């Protein structure tokens, strides 16, 4: 028997060794676990298969655990370098894999990726909790933090130390063991719920199509909208025209279609996404997310999730956010009511005698805009061919910041639509890789965003440069026309490119303090300020030419665009404020929700409401920003940043919109600094003073 047991033991050891060797061999073949060999160490998209992700995550998590264990077991006393900096640099491979995977899950997903995401999310949550809830690791971090006054740290090092310590505290490091267990359960469930929320919205968006075969039903629609719908139908092997809930299809239909019944059908489909009581319904997910975030906040000693979140924001407290939203609401309400009344009166004069509904708003607003300012969207679009707009945006980057962008087809991309660029500084130094992904498709969530595949930091004397991505859902080219952008799409491009500049121009020491790793109510400043150039004739004259004739955009058309800039600014302000109010209604509560999601939404939006209620319509169930993104108790930041960007752009207006000295100051004090210092300190360093709301009210025509 002894011999047999020994034999079993030997066989067992050999089996373990065989499994380890097999696993190592598989890892060696996994492109995510090997050094990236392409130019600038860009992600090898052509080599990555879905099957690679799960084993890569598992291997990278174990590698990161070993790095953290080495910090914990370091026999030397805890110091800034061997604990805080070491922590900041740990998990580099895991971070890379996570960025690649979850960026693809947003921009080029499929059923298999979504299934992997549901399996990976709790693994990552567990790993994160293992770090933040480790008492030995926290003891080292705390030891360094308690001697911070004696460490002679520079501002970025002080920020990193502060972020590290508070990161542990705000992630449960001071909880007792029972509460730590509950904290783990909460964060694990939240990670899965946010993914499910997004998946449901995408599924609902893709599930709807309005198939039209009678050309008379297309009355009022411009050629570009009809051609796009015909192309969509053709791609689905159907006759006629197909309209979808993707923005480039939905928005033109709501603006131009004469058929009110079909506009209503489109609106009801769009506004009821994930509110149909089916498998993609998000109402219970919303209630669960809000409940869990409240419970987590209370575990950590906060009254509400808003209290917890706003501790690390410029606004600081829920009371200040609510006061901010209310002040702007008071400044916007009368103008919004006037905007609404004007559309009602215009519709009546046009022969419309029914109550104005939400599906009538864009249609009659566009007609009023055309009557008042003498142009329509299709006329403007002709001067905004995508390729020309790209040239214009790149020219702006060169004029302001000395940047040169060159497409490099040797850089791998994840979809044929994606273009990859190298970005160089005025002195020829490499700045960044930039991916741009413009068009909608079934595997891409709606909206527009900036992200990165690699951040920026310094290591061993080397400046590691970032890999940034801009993702949008712009109007696609058709068989007869190139991609022609609406004016809103032009401003969206500038917005996301501004985020991109924030990431690309970063000059920080640590990745966690670089680029867009800033307070969320500061992150929109670099994006929103760049939208201002869309209204400047000096910039439009540089690139906006008719896609057929090549003639420059007429001065009178630019004047009309500028004149229409504040068209319905009161209404638009109220609309944006209503989203911030809804966000706070969910997250500034101190008690578990007892009302329905619909009731909470109706009550929160009542102060800004102008339309009658629409049965089945619910904004919350597709409000991904606050239930699946990072904007919970933070949606107000768009309006907050409007105050900053209007105030900051007033400096450009005073000195010249292409003034290099002003641009250098903005680059040096804002774009390059990331989150390395307090954002208000950075802003004052650029502006010379704290911002006031006056510039925003004046720019929006709301001052009086």
Active-site annotation, residues: 496
Give the dihedral sign, CA 92/98/104/110.
Answer: positive
- The number of C-alpha atoms within 13 Å of 598 and in the hemisphere containing its C-beta is 12
* Cβ atoms of 476 and 248 closer than 8 Å: yes
DSSP assignments along 270-316, one per residue: HHTTT-SSSTT--HHHHHHHHHHHHHHHHHTT-SSHHHHHHTTSSS-
Triad 498, 640, 332: Cα angle to 5° = 115
State the CB neighbour count (10 A cutoff) for residue 279.
7
DSSP β-ladder status, 430-437 and 467-471: parallel
Q: If you ran DSSP here, which 8-state letter would residue 671 be given?
A: I
Residues near 300 by Cβ (< 8 Å), separated by ≥ 6?
169, 170, 172, 175, 308
d(CA 652, CA 89) in angstroms, rounded, equals 38
Give the dihedral sign, CA 442/443/444/445.
Answer: positive
* Cβ atoms of 378 and 223 closer than 8 Å: yes
What SS3 string covers 519-586? CCCCCCHHHHHHHHHHHCHHHHHHHCECCCCCCECCHHHHHHHHHCCCCCHHHHHHHHHHHHHHHHHH
Triad 306, 307, 309: Cα angle to 5° = 60
d(CA 501, CA 692) in angstroms, rounded, equals 25
d(CA 172, CA 300) in angstroms, rounded, equals 6
- Which single residue is written with the structure tokens 């690139």? 543
CA distances from 577 to 307, 331, 362 (A): 19, 11, 19
d(CA 670, CA 316) in angstroms, rounded, equals 20
d(CA 458, CA 65) in angstroms, rounded, equals 23
In this structure, what are the phi and psi dihedrals at residue 515, rounded to the nearest 5 degrees? 55, -130
* SS3 label, residue 431: strand
DSSP β-ladder status, 210-212 and 430-437: unpaired
| Burial of residue 235 (number of CB atoms within 10 Å: 0-12, 13-18, 19+) | exposed
* Cβ atoms of 489 and 475 closer than 8 Å: yes
* Cβ atoms of 405 and 475 closer than 8 Å: no
| Burial of residue 162 (number of CB atoms within 10 Å: 0-12, 13-18, 19+) | middle
**Tokens in use for 167?**
């990161």
State the CB neighbour count (10 A cutoff) for residue 581.
25
* Cβ atoms of 455 and 515 closer than 8 Å: yes
Note the residue count of the chain.
704
* Cβ atoms of 384 and 544 closer than 8 Å: yes
């Amino acid at each position: 028997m002894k011999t047999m047991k020994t034999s079993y033991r030997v066989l067992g050891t050999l089996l373990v060794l065989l499994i380890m060797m097999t696993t190592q061999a598989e890892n060696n073949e996994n492109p995510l676990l090997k050094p990236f060999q392409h130019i600038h160490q860009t992600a090898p998209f052509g080599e990555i298969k879905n099957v690679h992700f799960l084993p890569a995550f598992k291997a990278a998590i174990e590698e990161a655990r070993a790095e953290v264990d080495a910090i914990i077991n370091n026999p030397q006393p805890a110091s800034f370098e061997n604990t805080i900096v070491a922590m900041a640099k740990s998990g580099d491979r895991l971070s890379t894999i996570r960025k690649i995977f979850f960026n693809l899950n947003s921009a080029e997903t499929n059923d298999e990726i979504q299934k992997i995401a549901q399996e990976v999310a709790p693994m990552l949550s567990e790993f994160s909790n293992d770090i933040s809830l480790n008492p030995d690791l926290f003891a080292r971090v705390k030891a360094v933090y308690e001697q911070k006054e004696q460490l002679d740290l520079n501002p970025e090092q002080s920020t990193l130390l502060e972020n590290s310590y508070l990161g542990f505290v705000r992630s449960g490091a001071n909880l007792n063991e029972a509460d730590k267990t509950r904290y783990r359960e909460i964060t694990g469930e939240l990670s899965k719920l946010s993914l499910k929320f997004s998946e449901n919205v995408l599924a609902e968006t893709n599930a709807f199509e309005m198939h039209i075969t009678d050309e008379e039903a297309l009355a009022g629609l411009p050629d570009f909208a009809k051609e796009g719908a015909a192309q969509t139908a053709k791609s689905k092997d159907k006759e006629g025209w197909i309209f979808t809930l993707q923005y480039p299809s939905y928005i033109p239909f709501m603006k131009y279609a004469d058929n009110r019944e079909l506009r209503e059908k489109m609106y009801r489909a769009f506004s009821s996404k994930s509110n149909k009581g089916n498998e993609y319904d998000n109402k219970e997910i919303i209630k669960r997310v809000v409940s869990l975030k409240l419970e987590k906040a209370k575990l950590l000693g906060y009254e509400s999730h808003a209290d917890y979140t706003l501790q690390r924001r410029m606004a600081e407290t829920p009371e200040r956010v609510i006061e901010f939203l209310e002040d702007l609401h008071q400044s916007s309400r009368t103008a919004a009511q006037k905007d609404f009344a004007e559309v009602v009166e215009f519709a009546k004069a046009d022969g419309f005698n029914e109550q104005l509904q939400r599906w009538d708003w864009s249609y009659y607003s566009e007609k009023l805009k055309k009557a008042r300012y003498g142009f329509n969207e299709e006329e403007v679009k002709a001067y905004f061919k995508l390729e020309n707009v790209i040239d214009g945006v790149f020219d702006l980057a060169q004029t302001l910041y000395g940047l040169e962008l060159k497409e490099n087809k040797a850089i791998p991309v994840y979809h044929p639509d994606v273009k990859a660029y190298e970005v160089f500084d005025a002195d020829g130094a490499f700045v960044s890789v930039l991916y741009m992904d413009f068009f909608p498709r079934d595997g891409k969530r709606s909206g527009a965003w900036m992200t990165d595949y690699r951040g920026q930091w310094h290591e061993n004397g080397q400046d590691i440069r970032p890999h940034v991505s801009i993702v949008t859902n712009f109007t696609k080219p058709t068989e007869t026309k190139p991609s022609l952008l609406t004016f809103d799409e032009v401003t969206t491009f500038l917005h996301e490119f501004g985020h991109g500049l924030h990431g690309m121009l970063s000059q920080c020491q640590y990745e966690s303090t670089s680029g867009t790793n800033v307070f969320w109510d500061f992150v929109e400043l670099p994006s929103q300020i760049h939208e201002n150039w869309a209204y400047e004739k000096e910039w439009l004259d540089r690139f906006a030419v008719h896609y057929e004739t090549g003639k420059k955009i007429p001065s009178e058309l630019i004047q009309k665009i500028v004149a229409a800039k504040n068209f319905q600014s009161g209404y638009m302000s109220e609309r944006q404020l209503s989203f911030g109010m809804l966000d706070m209604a969910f997250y500034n509560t101190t008690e578990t929700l007892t009302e329905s999601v619909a009731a909470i939404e109706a009550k929160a939006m009542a102060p800004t409401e102008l339309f009658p209620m629409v049965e089945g319509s619910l904004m919350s169930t597709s409000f991904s920003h606050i239930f699946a993104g990072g904007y919970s108790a933070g949606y107000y930041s768009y309006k907050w940043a409007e105050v900053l960007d209007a105030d900051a752009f007033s400096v450009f207006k005073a000195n010249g919109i292409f003034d290099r000295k002003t641009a250098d100051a903005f680059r040096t004090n804002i774009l390059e600094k990331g989150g390395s210092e307090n954002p208000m300190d950075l802003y004052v360093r650029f502006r010379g003073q704290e911002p006031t709301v006056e510039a925003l009210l004046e720019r929006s025509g709301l001052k009086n």
